[in-house]
Amino acid sequence: MLKYIWSVKDGKKYIFLKSFISIVNAVLPIALVSMPGLIINELMGERRVGIILILIGITASIPCIQSIVVSSLDVYLNALRYRFMIKVKSDFISHCADMDYESMENPDIQTIKERAEGTTSDTLDTFEYLSGLISAIISVIMCASVISVLNPLILIFVILIVLSNYVNGKWLNQKTYSVDKEISKYNRYGWPIVSYFYDSKYAKEIRLYNLKDYFIKLYNDKRNEANRFGIKSSIYSRNSSIVAAIISFAQTAALYIYFVFKVIKNELAVGNMTIYMGIVLQFVNSLGNLTNGYLKLSMLSLNVRELIEFMQIPLKNIHMGSKAPVWDSNSYIEFKNVSFKYPGSEKYALKNMSITIRGNEKLCIVGENGSGKSTFIKLLTRLYMPSEGEILLNGININEYDYFQYINLFAPVFQDYALYNISLGENIVMASKYDRERLKSAIKKSGLSSTVNSNKNGYDTIIYKWYDEEGIEPSGGEGQKIAMARALYHNRPIYILDEPTAALDPMAEYEIYTQFHNMIHDKCAILITHRLSAVQLADTVAVFDNGKVAEYGTHKELYANGGIYTEMFDKQAKFYREENRTENT
């Protein structure tokens, strides 16, 4: 972790400044403890008033200067700390976004991730504890070297000092509380964004639309806005520390002046007890800091190890392949004897599947739940890799193509679509800059115009009410239309429609299918559906059964064969006919 901290620009500055503060915090208290002895020696010797006053001034100034220097540096250190924590968190969520989808679904890796996530905000504590440990070691050594050669307070004065510190501390708490409330508002922006990279329901679109950079930038922008309030909180702490240092200066100066003049008037005995008592107390305190610092550091190291292990999980997919894929009317994707088992399962989800998807073909995939339809899409889009066999694009294994260029071939619309806590327009374009006319077209074609027009903020209407009370909670149908508008806007060569109208009523379904039919006439489209009325969009139909292509052909051919497809179609047709008779009655 120290190597990682050192590798970051702000990390180097943090290490140097924190090391300097550690040395200051170790050396100055020892110097402070030594000053009373020098004063006593002067009182027992020539008793020069000028020298005595200088020594008193130095004694009173040391803690004041230490507090001012350390609290001022802490303002800059906190700014470095905020930036460094944002960097660590960004690296963490970037790693999560780049992880293979099969790793995201692995429960063991998820457990490691959840434990490692809690350590991302504690990474700098590694050096915090280490610098405290070094400071304690220096102090212990210096105190031990002095203890070889051996010093009460005015009640009312101390009570006044305590009350002054109480007022100062209460002011700081009030200021910190008000700033923390502002920081919390910005933190609410960050929490849902981070969850997108962890939640499996977002994982497919995060990868297939390559949304990592967009959301990481959005996260960084919001966190940096919160950072400004964090710096303000540090300034309040600095001001409070300066006030506390001045109070401490007045306390120390007043007490020493009082006792010195008591000695001058021969009202107090002079002895070396002050020096020895101070050194002993400092030694005990430093020794306690040493043991406590070691225990904290050893405990933190266990958590840090888990974070490092998680960050070192291999990212196979994004580093595999470099070829640039091409898709046109002559292109094809071929599943060649493909079999697949989910990790930890002995059952095949797909078994010896062979099927070809061509150029501008519209392929409709039907089958019962568990027949392998969703697994087929996961393999097609490289969310998983085949256990056996291979998938070819234009005769070349898809793993030989650049991962991001390959997934950019697909415009998916999933049944378990994802909506994000950003504006309606941003949910569609998924980018900071976009073509407004293209957005309008996608909204119109997906049937979202009424949703946009019915909200005063139009495209800028926030989805959900997480941080905007005027945000909307889309219905299932509206959410699915947003997902379809997203695919239409990105306009990639291969559409994947996984139950795209599951939440729509029959009229809306008919409207959407008609619009899609007009849009994808020159595109390749793979439609997975339970509603066999959708086969009107398809050139060919593939019937999946137990992980295999059981039947393949046109609607007319398959229905004439009297097999699985015929049975499925007749059952649905019977349901709709009965429903229609009931409505007419």
Instruction: Dump pLDDT digits (tens) for 286-344.
Output: 766 776 677 677 767 777 887 888 888 888 888 888 999 999 989 999 999 999 998 88
At 59 the pLDDT is 81
* φ, ψ of residue 462 in degrees (nearest 5): -75, 135
Sheet of 524-528: strand order equals 410-413, 494-498, 524-528, 362-366, 540-545, 548-553
3-state class (DSSP) for residue 362: strand
Going by their DSSP bridges, the two strands 410-413 and 362-366 should be labelled as unpaired
At 575 the pLDDT is 59
Residue 233 has pLDDT above 60, yes or no: yes
Residue with tokens 């009312």: 156
Residue 274 has pLDDT above 70, yes or no: no
At 151 the pLDDT is 42
Residue pair 31/141 in contact (Cβ under 8 Å)? The answer is no
- Greater confidence, 499 or 439? 439
At 198 the pLDDT is 73
Average pLDDT over residues 165-170: 70
| 154 pLDDT tier (thresholds 50, 70, 90) | very low
Residue 484 has pLDDT above 60, yes or no: yes
3-state class (DSSP) for residue 508: helix
C-alpha span between 229 and 181 (Å, rounded):
10
| 153 pLDDT tier (thresholds 50, 70, 90) | very low
Residue 271 has pLDDT above 60, yes or no: no
Other CB atoms within 10 Å distance of the CB of residue 549:
20
Residue 85, amino acid: M
Residue 488 has pLDDT above 80, yes or no: yes
With a pLDDT cut of 90, the percent of the chain lying above it is: 18
At 177 the pLDDT is 65
C-alpha span between 427 and 433 (Å, rounded):
13
DSSP per residue over 298-312, as a string? HHHHHHHHHHHHHHT
C-alpha span between 335 and 158 (Å, rounded):
83
Residue pair 222/193 in contact (Cβ under 8 Å)? The answer is yes
Average pLDDT over residues 385-393: 94
At 5 the pLDDT is 78
At 336 the pLDDT is 95
Average pLDDT over residues 349-374: 90
Q: Which of 260-264, 379-383, 445-449, 538-542 has the lowest mean pLDDT?
A: 260-264
Residue 273 has pLDDT above 50, yes or no: no
C-alpha span between 29 and 33 (Å, rounded):
6
At 236 the pLDDT is 82
- Greater confidence, 336 or 103? 336
Residue 390 has pLDDT above 50, yes or no: yes
367: left (phi over 0), alpha (psi -120 to 50) or beta: left
C-alpha span between 307 and 313 (Å, rounded):
10
- Greater confidence, 283 or 269? 283
Average pLDDT over residues 31-45: 72
Please give the distance of CA 287 from its chain centroid, rounded to a whole number: 38
The chain-wide mean pLDDT, for the chain, equals 80
